[in-house]
Amino acid sequence: MKIITFTNLMLLTSLTLFTACSKSSPKPEDKKLSTLAIIGVSSGQTSQLPLAQTYPTQGNYHLSSADGDRVQTYMRNHYTVVNEIEQNAKKLLGIKYVWGATGPSTYDCSGFTQKIYRDAGINIPRVSRDQARVGQFIAYGDLVRGDMVFFDTKKKRSGIVSHVGIYLGSGNFIHASSAAKKIVVYNFDNKSFYKDRFLWGRRVVNDNYLMASL
């Protein structure tokens, strides 16, 4: 009996395994899977595949007249109205002050404010005391552009409204001044008289474009 060493045994085993693996390697198949085959559709069934539904990028939409009015009101927003108020008011700078006048060549304080807000589509009363009752009450620290500002300008102060202007922001307001005899822009910090005589503000333009009237 021949004695097979451990080294020879390992060599014989490796050769056997190599031969076996070489003989058992499968041949690659020629069949290829198409996308249709993967989803289980034969080539003859392609015409039966459902098509993706498409939608037009534009359509014909109709608004009722009431809806159209609401859209127009929404588009005419707070900033548009306030800008219009400021621009129209500044166009009248230098126009003469005359008590009781409502324009177009002369104005008193409330005639001036009524004209400016009316041109922006906001109806307010004629005299300052009545104008001081419309819209939302606003304290001095909460004033924003487009607010009305009211004063007691009488020598003997009683807290009763006697003057009105329009706030422009940054402490500035525009008004028809009886003292200056024309429409002017003043700043509260530079005109302590008006700051001391300030009563309150009224907001007749908000984010939803509020129209104020009695």
Active site (annotated) includes residue 62:
no
| CA angle in degrees (0–180, nearest 5) for 65-121-186 | 155
Active site (annotated) includes residue 78:
no
Using DSSP's 3-state secondary structure scheme, residue 166 falls into: strand
Could you say which of 21, 62, 78, 163 is catalytic? 163
Distances (CA, A) of 132 to 13, 45, 67, 207: 110, 80, 33, 20
Bond prior to 26 in cis (omega within 30° of 0): no
- Nearest-angstrom CA–CA distance, 91 and 119: 12
Distances (CA, A) of 38 to 44, 131, 167: 15, 79, 73
- Nearest-angstrom CA–CA distance, 99 and 97: 7
Could you say which of 21, 62, 78, 175 is catalytic? 175
Contact 167, 173 (CB under 8 A): yes
Contact 101, 86 (CB under 8 A): no
Residues belonging to the active site = 109, 163, 175
